[in-house]
A and B are shown apart, each in its own frame.
Chain A
Amino acid sequence: MTNTTDNPILELDAIDTFYGPVQAHFGLSLHVGKGEIVSLLGGNASGKSTTMKIILGLVKPAAGDVRVDGVSTLKLKTPEIVRLGVGTVPEARRLFGAMSVRENLLMGAFIRNDKDGIAADLERVLTLFPRVGQRLNQQAGTLSGGEQQMVAMARALMGRPRVVIMDEPTMGLSPLWVERVLELIRDINGQGVAIFMVEQNASLALQIAHRGYVLQTGRIVLEGKAADLLVDTRIRDAYLGGAEAA
């Protein structure tokens, strides 16, 4: 699965980002190969969520380049980046709470115009998430946290993405739901979709990832195969906040 020989599906190249005078990224570089699961690990204020915004074009970097399958996205608006095949599962789900589950799923297919294809994908996604199928006409905001996470993942798939970026997909879920969500992420990946996930919970994220990066105060301090990182003692150090001042 770790096929990184041709163009990576997602690539961040020497990114510097600023919020006013505060620098959030210092020469951040990482990539996600086609069909890969890559985890970005880091504690609070390490720059994880900003990384997600950079990929989606919601924040533009001061320097560096972002490429989706070799195409630079710096000059593109968010909808155009989404059209390149980038799906999102945002932090805290961010479902459209007052809309029905079905409408949420169809919003996921907003960039598409092939009616029949969308209907077919709805069927396909519902077989992957049978639970969501039972809730189609319910308001999304009334679902439980785990169910909302499923809708968010299903919604991301409706756009036929080639890579899905997930911001803390297990946050706030009960251990039972965490297991289920991780399984589903693996299933999605099994269909050939690359996954780039940001997580605070390193051991969980590395269980299913192929590779991982550790982000600390805007810099990558560690990277490697998930199996290696899982046993690396420095991971723990990185999580304890790190001694290095920014």
Chain B
Amino acid sequence: MTSWFDHTINGLIIGNIYGLLAVGLALIFGVSRLINFAHGSVYVVGAYVGWVAVSVLQTPFPVTLVLVVALTAALGIVIERFGIRPLADAPRIAPLLATIGLSFVLDQTVQILFSPDPRSVPMQVPNWRIEIGGGSIGLLDLLIGGIGITAAASLFAFLKLTKWGWAVRATALDRDAARAMGVDVDKVNRIVFAIASALGGVGGVLVGMYYNVITPTMGFEATLKGIVAEVVGGVGNVPGAIVGSLLLGLVESYGVALLGTSYRNLFAFVLLIAILVLRPNGLFASHRQLPPEPMTGTFVAPSKPVRLPVPLVAAAAALAIALPFLTENGYLIQTLTNAWLYALLGLSLTLVAGTSGQVSLGHAALLAIGGYTSALLAFNLNWPVWLTLLIGGFAAAGIGTLLVSPAFRLRGHYVSIATLGIGEIVALVILNWESVTRGPIGVAGIPPLSLFGYDLYDTNAIYWFAFALMAALALLQVRLLGSHLGRTLRAVRDDDVAARSFGIGLKRYKGLAFAFGGFFAGISGAFTAHMYSFINHETFNTQISVLALTIAILGGMGNVGGAILGSVALIGLPEIFRVAAEYRILLYGIALLLLVRFRPQGLLGTV
């Protein structure tokens, strides 16, 4: 039985590590107005540099720390120079997407270099513990606390007492005015990325020492935790980030003490959503309302969409339908079936993010809701699968819209953070609600797809079914976009203040967009569940959310034909060329980076 004292110490230590991440995120947001999704990946790099130093080079701890600081700071400078600075004039959401691409690239590179297996970090600190009351503090705890406090003190000294520290603060407050004082804001950005990355790298080493294990995939969660802490403290607020981190650490530690380890992240994300809804400026801000301007701006790069001639579309559709007669290659048919299902997801996201401008990063949750609803109804109650598919679609529409509705008052980056958090909450509820979802074991033996009383086992039949569904819903979406509703959604996207002044109820239309999008994604998730006959909480993960976004961007945001083409390109091509799974994620990251930089309007143009 661990005492409350121990839980408090544990919470503060974890909070300390979150703080090293959150302070960097806050600094970067301050000067660049950017939420850096690659931050957790830098922390992973820090952890692995530490591992190499300790295990291979066998350096003493101070040398390890210096190595980590130097290399991650350098990585931060590279990220700023090549990932962020070229996008200085792009819409605000563009650099955010670039950092997501960067995080894929960094995480996968680490995974390819060091293998996906966890590695243990040899202990460099003697395992002494001091007994206090009912609990104890270890030397490692004190070391981590000491490093955290030293880092914070040095940072404050830098910001308060040095010329470049003033420049950082001045740039955060008013970029143009700082330039007019002669401040080279590019250099400020470089300094900030270097400091933030070094702090994140140190966090990675410390977490490796604390848990004694590191994995290449731990970065994404670290980014999320840093973002939660930053939002709690007020985005861009450095002291707030520290307090938010310690608070988050304590909430998690006590939550785990009460309910168990698998609830740790649930507490974090519920805290995130609560803060976003109730106090979007953080706990310490005097204003409850978000500043309207800096957050607006969608990713929809203005462009002339490519008009696909009807005969060409008809010919492509005919070819798609005839394909099973033309080839004996079942693998190709299966791959394309997958592509049609991802196209449904892409259609959903291109409507929500492209047409309505709500860049969702939690879209996989809609797949999960549809998949689980349909699978459980068919499995437990033996309902016909065509019916459960439909119900899965409606469930995703209804539940998804309901879950996102508190976020309707948010804009820009905050929508992305909120949907990301909601997506994580859905996954965590699925994991923990064992009586219904079977938790981590998942649902196996899901009844196969069936139509008119016939079970579909045949690859070709499933292919046609998927294509028919996708084509029908794509046509529906084309009609939708040409209607009054489509125009209104685009108005909301382009200028929600102007839209509101014309009497458009924003919440209603955002709700409609999510409802339609949810239906499409729900059907796709349900179809997938019956096709695979097995799902668990990891089937529809955040990587799929990001992949969906990449599909929508590749095709051209808001573009129906583009979503289908994007899906065929991103799902079909790597499969056909048999790219190994770990390189595939790397490829997606690079694709996203290149797109954001060189062709934000996608292949077929934005609508």
Contact = CB atoms under 8 A, between A and B. Distances in A.
Nearest to A98: B173
A107 interface: yes
A190 interface: no
B184 to A, nearest CB: 5
Interface in B170-193: 170, 173-174, 176-184
Given A97-B173, A98-B173, A78 B179 contact: yes
B304 interface: no
A108 interface: yes
- Report which residue of A94, A95, A96, A98 has the largest number of chain B beta carbons within 10 angstroms of its beta carbon: A96
Contact of A96 (B163, B177, B184): B177
A159 to B, nearest CB: 7
B177 A94 contact: yes
A99 B166 contact: yes
A111 B182 CA distance: 6
Contact of B170 (A56, A83, A107, A111): A107
- Report which residue of A56, A78, A98, A99 has the largest number of chain B beta carbons within 10 angstroms of its beta carbon: A78
Contacts of B181: 82, 88, 107-108, 110-111, 155, 159
Interface in A159-210: 159
A82 B180 contact: yes
Contacts of B604: none
A79 B177 CA distance: 11
A97 B179 CA distance: 16
B179 A79 contact: yes
A96 B180 contact: no
Nearest to B167: A110
A90 interface: yes
A110 B176 contact: no
A77 interface: yes
Contacts of B183: 79, 107, 110
B179 to A, nearest CB: 4
A103 interface: yes
B264 interface: no
B169 interface: yes
Contacts of B167: 107, 110
Interface string A38-59: 0000000000000000001010
A99 B177 CA distance: 13
A94 B182 contact: no
Interface in A208-224: none
B180 A90 contact: yes
Interface of B: 163, 166-167, 169-170, 173-174, 176-184
Interface of A: 56, 58, 77-79, 82-83, 88, 90, 94-99, 103, 106-108, 110-111, 155, 159
The 6 closest A-B pairs by CB, nearest first: A82-B182, A111-B182, A94-B177, A88-B180, A78-B179, A79-B182
